[in-house]
Structure 1
Amino acid sequence: MEYTRLGRSGLSVSRLVLGTMNFGTRTSEEDSRAIMDRAHEHGVNFFDTADAYGPQQGEGLTEQIIGRWFAQGGDRRDRTVLATKAYLPTGERPNEGGLSALHIRRAVDASLKRLRTDRIDLFQMHHIDRHTPWEEIWEAFGVLRQQGKVLYFGSSNFAGWHLAQAQEAARSRHFLGLVAEQSIYNLMSRWAELEVLPAARHYGLGVIPYSPLHGGVLSGVLRKQREGLAVRSGSGVWAAALADRREAVEAYEGLCAGLGEDPAHVGLAWLLAQDGVTGPIVGPRTVEQLDGAVHALRITLDPDTLAELDAIFPAPGPNGAKPAPEAYAW
């Protein structure tokens, strides 16, 4: 396993992040435990979850599954850099969502209880809260850090402007500020390159891409269809993405075949090659899928291959050939 620092912090994390959103929904608790054990065997030490994950609002089933796994012992907790999130509603009453000081305090305490731990290593805002001032948020975060309940703070789904706001507000309080941003980012969705990645690099945040295979479209879906293998349901975003860019996906799968590599692994390897990316989140439903994802660490994409991928999935912006944020310039 390869490791890197999380942004400008001193925290060492694996270059693959274990996503747990399937735990308790598409993956049984028994299989979830097996996946987490195998992650440790591979050296994956960075686990990502959220209080909203699970089939029932407010239940936090995914966090509970992880907590029961920690309770098995064997240094499971100490070997794990644990990240969770809050913002989405956990109930129907007022103050059961957002980033008010009250909800932040309640959310952290509830997650600690479900996760059966005394600390959260990385607490992430699941979304920007446009109604809560940064002074309130950073004051609440400062208390949590003083209490030892949270060690580092991060964001998710933030725009570049939001990252700037957060970091400047933290700077005014002489705080470390955010150390990571979790953003949708993959070959088919490169909008983060315009502002989010440049802002993250400027402020020293590690970028943690989620949906690295664009909902499975980059996993070799056309080949699987031809071979009669099971693929994800062709509805919603998955179907729209494939319908709009089928030719690009066909070219991508052809390139991967020429490399002798699985498209899913090439998609992960491309992210690992991007400046500022800490590591993509992989959300395996089985141990075998996790084993396959680890292979991406052994793939090195040469400049010619990276250029071919850029040609198939061009960078966004009116002048995408330029490094962002200069993609806006002429």
Structure 2
Amino acid sequence: MRYSILGRTGLKVSRICLGTATFGVAPDAREAGRLVGAALDLGINFIDTADSYGNMPVFDRPGAPAAADREPAEQILGRALRGRRDEAVIATKSQVHVGPGINDGGLSRRHIIRQVEASLRRLGTDYIDLYYAHNPDPDTPLEQTLGAYDDLIRQGKIRYIGLSNHPAWQLVHALWLADDRRYCGPVATQVKYNLIDRKTERELAPACEEFRVSIIPYAPLHGGLLADLRVLDRGISGDQRFAGSGFTSGEIKTARELDRLSREWGLALNQSSLAWLLSRPAVASAIVGAESVKELRANASAADVDLDKDQLAAITALTGAPA
């Protein structure tokens, strides 16, 4: 496993990050525990979760327990890390509504503090390494959110903060506010980014490179299409798992062409996809979800793949720069 420095922190995180969004569904809670142990054994020290992962209806899948009967992903992760907490860099987040109350979501001081306390209990730890604002909150001024984060950092409950799904202008605004008010600013931003979806390169990636903020891509394999073409035979197509529309003909064409190139180079499709993404400016680590230890090992192997400049150019040319 190889490692990157997270933003301006000096903290080293594995180039592959274990995602836990579907813990309790696929993998189930027992397999998820084995998966976490295997990740640590492989040198994967970076693990991503959220207060809304695991037991929300959006993650329902045929054959899995109903949302109300599932544990939160944070709780499953906390149990799996018992005795090995110091080996992991845990990232979690809040903003999504997690209860019926009108204030059970957002980025207000009240909600952030309540959710940090709840996450600490579920994770069975006394600190969170990286805490994200899961999505923008138009109802709460950014300075209030950053102020709450800064207080929690000073209390030792969180170490660093990040943004997730925020546009470039909000990231730069957060950095400016943090500098102006002497708050601890964001060191990472989490965003959907892969060979097929390259919108991040328009504005966010240049801003991250300029201000030394790490990009942590989610969906790096585009719902499995950039991992293994056999996903097309599974009956679950892309983001249809989460009420999306599935893969387009253009996306499938790109994946088939990358698969052809990968075979020529003696690589698997997932290795080429992840190695290309990890070569992009400011990208520190890619979040991969895995349903089995075998799948996790296959994705972890991509961290050690070095593509030469001609291979990188050939992959980049498959989709071109975003308009």
1:285 aligns with 2:296: no
Where do residues 1-330 of structure 1 align in structure 2 (5 Å cutoff)?
1-56=1-56, 61-71=72-82, 73=83, 76-221=84-229, 231=234, 233-234=236-237, 240-317=246-323
Runs of 4+ in 1 over 2 A off after TM superposition: 55-60, 234-250
2:37 partner SS: helix
Assess, with a 3 A threshold, how the Cα gap between structure 1 residues 93 and 78 changes in structure 2: closer, same or farther: same
In the TM superposition, what is the alpha-carbon distance from 1:122 to its structure 2 partner? 0.4
1:7 partner SS: coil
Unaligned runs of 5+ in 1: 318-330
Amino acid at match of 1:261: L
Unaligned runs of 5+ in 2: 58-67
In the TM superposition, what is the alpha-carbon distance from 1:245 to its structure 2 partner? 3.2
Query: CA RMSD of the aligned region, Å?
Result: 1.8
Amino acid at match of 2:234: V
CA distance in 2, matches of 1:256, 1:87: 39
CA distance in 2, matches of 1:158, 1:88: 14
Amino acid at match of 2:180: S
8 Å contact from structure 1 (residues 207, 278) kept in 2: yes
Identity %: 39
Assess, with a 3 A threshold, how the Cα gap between structure 1 residues 312 and 42 changes in structure 2: closer, same or farther: same
1:83 partner SS: strand
CA distance in 1, matches of 2:239, 2:223: 10
In the TM superposition, what is the alpha-carbon distance from 1:140 to its structure 2 partner? 0.8
Amino acid at match of 2:218: Y
In the TM superposition, what is the alpha-carbon distance from 1:243 to its structure 2 partner? 2.3
CA distance in 1, matches of 2:267, 2:245: 24
- 1:128-187 CA-to-partner distances (Å, cap 9, x unmatched) read 111111221122112101111011000111110110111111111122300000110000
8 Å contact from structure 2 (residues 51, 74) kept in 1: yes
- 1:13-57 CA-to-partner distances (Å, cap 9, x unmatched) read 111111111211111111111111111111111110000001247
In the TM superposition, what is the alpha-carbon distance from 1:244 to its structure 2 partner? 3.4
Assess, with a 3 A threshold, how the Cα gap between structure 1 residues 134 and 24 changes in structure 2: closer, same or farther: same
Aligned residue pair count: 309
CA distance in 2, matches of 1:102, 1:224: 42
In the TM superposition, what is the alpha-carbon distance from 1:84 to its structure 2 partner? 0.3
**Which residue of structure 2 aligns with residue 322 of structure 1?**
none
- TM-score normalized with structure 1 length: 0.89
- 1:219-275 CA-to-partner distances (Å, cap 9, x unmatched) read 231x565xxxx5351365576433233332221211111112111111111111112
- TM-score normalized with structure 2 length: 0.91
CA distance in 2, matches of 1:236, 1:184: 12
